[in-house]
Structure 1
Amino acid sequence: MYGVCVPNVCSDDQIVQYVDNLTQSIPELQFLSLKTPMFADSPVICQHFPQRTYDAGFICFTVFCLILAILMLSGAALDVFQKYKKRKMIKDSKLRLPSPKSYGSTGETNNVTMVTDSSLEEHKPLMDHEVQNIKSSPAEIAGSKPGLFQEVLLCFAFNRNLSKLLDTTVGQSQSIGCLHGIRVISLTWVALGHTFIFNFMPGTENPSALLDMIPSFFFQAVCNAYSAVDTFFFMSGFLLSYVTFTRMAKSNGKISWLLFYFHRIWRITPLYAFVILFMIYHHPYFGDGPKWYQAIHFDSLCEQYWWRNLLYINTYFPQADMCMQWSWYLSCDMQFFIISPLILLPLIRSQTIGILVASVMLLASLVVTGSLIGKNHLTTNGYGSILGADIGLSINGYSKNYLELVYIQPYTRIPAFLIGMIMGYIMFRQISEHQRIRLSSIVVSGGWGLAFAVGISVIYGTYTSYGDVSMFESVWSNAVNVLYGTFSRLGWSLVLSWVVFACYYGYGGWINDFLCWSFWIPLSRLTYSAYLIHGLVIQTYYQAYPSSYRVSISFISGWINDFLCWSFWIPLSWINDFLCWSFWIPLSRLTYSAYLIHGLVIQTYFEALD
């Protein structure tokens, strides 16, 4: 791709004609011809802003966003006003507090009412004998009970919501703490993989550099980032089973299946729909330039096929027509959730029957996956299989459609979810029955050693598949591709089962301390929203980049930080709660050492650029 500056009066068609005339007039250039890039309507794409007119959809969605912003600000203002009233009532009540002489022998006040609010830390508590004999009056302190409108408005108060979001004191005793760290690290891993794979869009000056990176040993952790998606499937099944049985134990085994499904849809669909609306009506105006036609194309897919996403059936349609191509995970996860009672109900009646049903489904999935890979001679070596499907490569007469046949299909991705459900049920039984698992040091060491060996094999085992051939081909035999593609996700799920089990029962050591770090808790609450928008952030950056760029490890490492910050930090924006976040405490102890080395890091980054 080449760029040239021309006057505004020149049209795309005129530039095409001029370039053709130039190449035809010079004998040495007659072999050249303009080609229309994928997703473009013309071989020449001039920069225009906006590339799409401001239509009624843009106006309506803008008004909707403004209404949400007004509700958030109004709710915050109401919350601040109510807190002010509480402080004023406390101050006035302190002034009305009688002296100690006015207390009788029984220590009672002469009809004096005092109100305290333990949440207001700036006020010192009263004396012990005063607190014991003072009646509280919430209605008096608040003036009156908030009406329905005020309660709804306070739900939008962003200062309240952010305070809850950044709270690190809640959740550690009510959940399995290591899942917070696993969730955030897995999303970071997914973003890392997408940062590299989206680099194959037009605009890279040295795509061969990416092709050279992929077969290297250490890069296999990036190529196999799809294992992080299996981590999400495992956690989804684990939490579904664990939480459902915990709630049923508190309600004598009863559960409302209508609320079971409604709660799930209500929890994830509104934000999902909002992001799709954003892509349709706002995202086209977020950039311009010679590569922005790619963004227009992907946004148009959402305009045409949004209903497939909201019905969670987009995996059954061509992947090239998918709105938000990374959203296939949500469809698979929702489909798993829908059929989960097929396992939950048998588990309620009999542990043996429930595990047997899950095992049959697991075996069926493994057989289907192996059959698809073997019959179609598919490659399973990370990026090679995914990119081969994207560019439509065919080898030995077999189409490399691993992406659509295996990668995004629920019947091939369900093993991790099933293992998670079984593990969640086992953990529930052990915790509810107060069973203390005691393992010898030999068993613990063996468990961690085996988990490490299996995990390394899953992530780095594909290194042997490249050899000296193209990255899109595999030196593995068809049988080896079948074995790896069939059992790698099962092995990864078993590794996660051991990590969760060992960390919860005190056999995790420093791994458990790291995964249970309070820093992960607020970010783990944002993983769903970050997953929805991270692909959009990455694509927008690449597609709005005004020129071509050279790819290198140091260059992309800077992008990854930017992408993650935007994906995680967009929902965060309040000063006091943010500055008092406990995450800063360990980092503040590192500021001196960071100051010493930061200049060296910056210099190394720029001097190592290609």
Structure 2
Amino acid sequence: MMYLHRYLRLTPVLAMAILIYMKILPISGDGPLYGSVTFDNYTICEQTWYWSLLYVQNYATDTICLGHSWYLAVDMQLYIISPLLLIALYKWGKKGAAAISVLMLLLAAGLFITMVIGKHSIFSHTSDAMPTIYFSTHTRASPYLVGILFGYFLHANRGVAVKLNRTVVSLGWLISLALLFTCIFSLYGYHNNNKALPIVNEAFNLTLTRIAWPLGLCWVVFACMHGYGGLANSFLSSPLWQPLSKLSYSAYIFHMFIESLNGGITRTNTFFSDYQVMLRFWGDFGLTLLLAFFVYILIEAPFGNLENLLLSTHRTKKKQPDLDAQQKTVGAIEAPATDSTPAPALVTISPLPEVRTKEKPTNN
């Protein structure tokens, strides 16, 4: 049932996006670059759309319909195998956690070896780098396993009061922010100066950042849960994020359409400036949220309600035989006797005669 819920949760919006990408987006604009920006190749979906709806497009084909949908395939595949990891943690506890840790390190080592031996470079845009080390689930599993282990840690220590002194809290935040900012800015020097990045350096960077980033986020969650989040907790737990959380999935699916359309209709040279970048960002962001709102209202929310209705009906039917059996049992206990045979008369038994004992004289 959990797999059906996941599939019904993701697929309607994805299917509508594929349809719009194939039939509507090609006629939505024109220009010298239209149809050739980023991932635009509208004919790809005619041959590979079904792989996307099966969530195996990251392995089944080299030409993915909706290029950014590779993440959905990775997420779905990891979701499918996650019960096996949870069973291991449930049955073997710390031993299961140790096994998952070893698996995480082996997958990270496999990514490093694949990049170094095969010379697969995302930085240098080698032809086979994206399907080999960027789209594949086994090279993306390490952060997911970090999350599984962290969830097990929180579950094993639920209800335990955690008291940390100011020094430990400050050190935790310092390490967390250092990990996060290192993941973001570690390659800034190479990008800024157009330097060639050695494949070993890139392999180390890609392998370690995929573990360092979730570790940094783990501390943020841990600190906020136990009262050490401060302003970060107030910001992240603000109710203002709730409306955006409803639109996040649709925004993820359709944001590339806005960027592709804006890039394709460009007819003149563009000149970089901070203001132009901010203007472009907020324009794309606003249109993406507006489109995501309509998608949520027209597709995501109705299908979600329909799914809840169908699954709740299924659960009700499943519980109905048990309720009927209980009602029959209660009825059998409470129902009066319908036998016409009269009950036997009560027999009155006379009490036993009182036995008297002689009192022995007492010697004073």
**Contact 1:378/1:481 (<8 A) preserved:** no
State the 1:354 CA deviation: 2.7
Q: Tell me how far apart the structure 1 counterparts of residues 65 and 31 of structure 2 sit (CA, whole Å).
A: 22
Aligned residues of 2:48 and 2:61 also touching (Cα < 8 A): no
How far is the alpha carbon of 1:571 from its aligned partner?
Answer: 4.1
User: Aligned pair 1:482/2:203, yes or no?
Assistant: yes
Query: Which one is further off, 353-362 or 267-276?
Result: 353-362
Kept in 2, the 8 Å contact 1:373–1:485? The answer is no
Is residue 151 of structure 2 the alignment partner of residue 410 of structure 1? no
Equivalent of 1:322, from 64, 71, 87?
64
The yes-or-no answer on 1:426 pairing with 2:145 is no
Indicate the residue corresponding to 2:219 in structure 1.
Answer: 498
Please report how far the alpha carbon of residue 564 of structure 1 lies from its aligned counterpart in structure 2 after TM superposition. 1.1
Post-superposition offset of 1:312: 1.2
| Superposed CA offset, 1:490-540 (max 9, x none) | 011100100111011110111111111211111012111110000111101
1:18 paired residue number: none
Instruction: Output one character per residue of 1:286-325: Cα deviation in whole Å (capped at 9) or x when no partner.
Output: 1123322437952221222101111112112554x22111
- In the comparison of the two structures, how many residue pairs are matched? 293
Cα distance in 2 for residues equivalent to 1:522 and 1:318: 36
Q: RMSD between aligned alpha carbons?
A: 2.2
Alignment equivalent of 2:247, drawn from 526, 539, 544: 526
Q: Is residue 568 from structure 1 mapped to residue 289 from structure 2 by the alignment? A: yes
Q: Structure 1 runs of 4+ off > 6 angstroms?
A: none
Query: Take 1:305 and 1:411, find their aligned partners in 2: how far apart are those partners?
Result: 22
CA distance in 2, matches of 1:378, 1:271: 33
Structure 1 residue ranges without an equivalent (≥5): 1-258, 390-398, 574-610
For 2:73 and 2:9, locate their aligned partners in 1 and report how far apart those are by CA, in whole Å. 14
Q: Please tell me whether the aligned partners of residues 258 and 284 of structure 2 are also in contact (alpha carbons under 8 angstroms).
A: yes
**Mapped partners of 2:227, 2:239: distance in 1:** 17
TM-score, reference length from structure 1: 0.46
Determine if the alignment matches structure 1 residue 539 to structure 2 residue 260.
yes
CA contact (8 A) 2:57 2:70 kept: yes
1:142 is matched with none
Give 1:301's aligned amino acid. Answer: I
Query: Are 2:201 and 1:458 aligned?
Result: no
Corresponding position of 1:207: none
In 1, are the aligned partners of 2:11 and 2:53 still within 8 Å (CA)?
yes
Q: How far apart are residue 464 of structure 1 and its match?
A: 4.2
Residue 485 of structure 1 and its aligned partner are, at CA, apart by 1.9
| Native 8 Å contact 1:291 1:544 kept in 2 | yes
**Contact 2:259–2:284 (Cα < 8 Å) also in 1:** yes
Whole-Å Cα distance in 2 between the matches of residues 374 and 327 of structure 1? 27
* 1:443 equivalent in alignment to 2:168: yes
Question: C-alpha distance in 2, partners of 1:282/1:288?
Answer: 13
SS in 2 for 1:439: coil
- Please list the CA deviations of residues 60-101 of structure 1 after superposition, one character each: whole Å capped at 9, or x if unmatched: xxxxxxxxxxxxxxxxxxxxxxxxxxxxxxxxxxxxxxxxxx
User: Quick check: 1:558 aligned with 2:279?
Assistant: yes
CA distance in 2, matches of 1:291, 1:330: 28
Length-normalised TM-score, structure 2: 0.74
- Displacement, 1:542? 0.9
Is the CA contact 1:343–1:357 (under 8 Å) kept in the aligned structure 2? no
SS state at 1:282 partner = helix
The aligned residue for residue 291 of structure 1 is 33
Distance 1:546 1:460 in 2: 33
Deviation for aligned residue 1:561 = 0.6
SS of 2:164's equivalent?
coil
**Structure 2 residues without counterparts, runs of 5 or longer:** 295-364
Report the residue type matching 2:133 in the other structure: V
CA distance in 2, matches of 1:505, 1:377: 44
Amino acid corresponding to residue 147 of structure 2 in structure 1: G
* Amino acid across the alignment from 1:540: L
Q: What is the CA–CA distance in structure 1 between the aligned matches of 2:173 and 2:15, rounded to whole Å?
A: 42
For 1:564 and 1:346, locate their aligned partners in 2 and report how far apart those are by CA, in whole Å: 42
Question: Aligned partners of 1:537, 1:349: CA distance in 2, in Å?
Answer: 48
Residue 313 of structure 1 pairs with residue 47 of structure 2: no
Partner of 2:270: helix, strand, or coil?
coil
What is the Cα deviation at residue 560 of structure 1? 0.9
Q: Is residue 2:355 matched to residue 1:355?
A: no
1:548 deviates by: 3.9
C-alpha change, 1:359 and 1:439, in structure 2 (3 Å) is same
In structure 1, distance between residues paired with 2:200 and 2:44: 37
- How far, CA to CA, are the matches of 2:61 and 2:282 in structure 1? 32
C-alpha distance in 2 between matches for 1:265 and 1:541: 31
Aligned equivalents of 1:276, 1:304: Cα separation in 2: 12
Q: Per-residue CA shift, 1:365-392, capped at 9, x if unaligned?
A: 1111110121133446xxxx1xx32xxx
Letter aligned with residue 271 of structure 2: R
CA offsets per residue over residues 208-263 of structure 1, 9 Å max, x none? xxxxxxxxxxxxxxxxxxxxxxxxxxxxxxxxxxxxxxxxxxxxxxxxxxx01111
CA deviation after TM superposition for structure 1 residue 467, in Å: 8.0
307 and 454 in structure 1: CA distance in 2 versus 1, 3 angstrom threshold = same
Question: Is the 1:313–1:331 contact (alpha carbons within 8 Å) kept by the matching residues of 2?
Answer: yes
